[in-house]
Amino acid sequence: MTKVTAAAIKAALRRSYSEPEWAILFEVGDATGARHTRFADAVVMSLWPSRGLTVTGMEIKVSRSDWNKERSQPEKAETIAAFCDYWTLVTGPGVVQDLSEIPPAWGWIEYDGTRFATRKTPQRTDAKPVTREFLAALLRRASKADQAEIENEIARRMADKEARFEERVELAVKRRTAANENALAIVEQFEAESGITFGEYSAFTSKGTEVGRITKAIMESGIDRSYNGLHAIADMLRKMSDQLEKVMIEQGLERKSSPPEAAIRGRRR
């Protein structure tokens, strides 16, 4: 399984908590400058009054060791969690091994690289009023883009485009292969019925145009349109022969008897 990165989680969070319903900021400190003591990996605020205009802080962890270090000092999160209505841990697979590891008020969302799954719903807490220091930290993050998240989103879109391009190429190859196979089957049938071979070293290879013209002429003649096509032509030729013979007799152009074959051989000697 491919390891889920923090950048991938941030990109997925931005897609899930998007405008106009949500605002999301990453790497938010509790103050600006040297006064900050703690960062939240993400802060999400609902922008619709019907949703309560709640603020949720998020801690992102993608390794078991990092999470063990974090949960050994849960009070460190309180610096920023105090301004939030909810606090949620967001992890990749395998980071949390048991639900009992999650502090009572925290929520837990797991991301498998494709979708989020809520493993534990956070408890709402009484958030204290936002201080000017925290507001300054929020506004600073709002004025900056998270470069890693942007790069991850660009990479994701490029991967999507490449996947779609490869899919189109694969479909085109399949169509071309099927067309070639059908054409080969027709050639093989033609060779079997006609005795004419179009192999690479065949004498007929250079006569493809000639064979094509002959075939076209036969097809356009209508001989192939019925089972009795050749019989009909033979009957027509016999009738024409009889009529021509009759006209010749009427004009005194009767056929002279052919000399016996033996007499012809004698004269040749």
Q: Compute the distance between CA of residue 83 and CA of residue 30 in angstroms, rounded to an integer.
A: 9
Q: What is the per-residue pLDDT for 199? A: 64
- The 10s digit of each residue's pLDDT in 237-252 is 888 888 888 878 877 7
What pLDDT score does 209 carry? 72
Please list, in sequence order, all residues whose beta carbon lies within 8 angstroms of the beta carbon of residue 11, skipping any fewer than 6 positions away: 149, 152, 153, 156
Q: Which residues pair with 45 in a beta bridge?
A: 23, 55
Among the ranges given (121-135, 157-171, 197-211), the one the predictor scored with the smallest mean pLDDT: 197-211
Residue 231 has a pLDDT of 72
More confident residue, 134 or 34: 134
Residue 215 to residues 196, 204, 250, 268, Cα–Cα distance (Å):
12, 14, 40, 44
> Is the pLDDT assigned to residue 32 strictly greater than 80?
no
The pLDDT score that the predictor gives to residue 145 is: 60
What single-letter amino acid sits at 260?
P
Structure token pair of residue 167: 């899919």
More confident residue, 187 or 58: 58
Token couple for 116: 């989020």
Burial 23-56 (b: 16+ CB within 10 A, else e): bbbbbbbbbbeeebeebbbbbbbbeeeeeeeebb
Checking if the pLDDT of 256 tops 80, the result is no
Q: What is the biggest distance separating any 2 CA atoms in the chain, rounded to whole angstroms?
A: 136
CA distances from 33 to 30, 37, 56, 85, 155 (A): 10, 10, 23, 25, 32
Spatial separation of the C-alpha atoms in residues 94 and 134, rounded to whole Å: 33
Strand partners, 86: 56
Mean pLDDT across the chain, nearest whole number?
A: 82
**Joined tokens for residue 120:** 């534990």
Cα 182 → chain centroid: 26
Q: What is residue 119's three-state secondary structure?
A: strand
Is it the case that residue 175 has pLDDT exceeding 60? yes
Structure tokens at 211: 């064979």
For the cut 90, the answer to whether the pLDDT of residue 16 exceeds it is yes
Q: Torsions phi, psi of 29, nearest 5?
A: -90, 170
* Residue 116, pLDDT above cutoff 60: yes
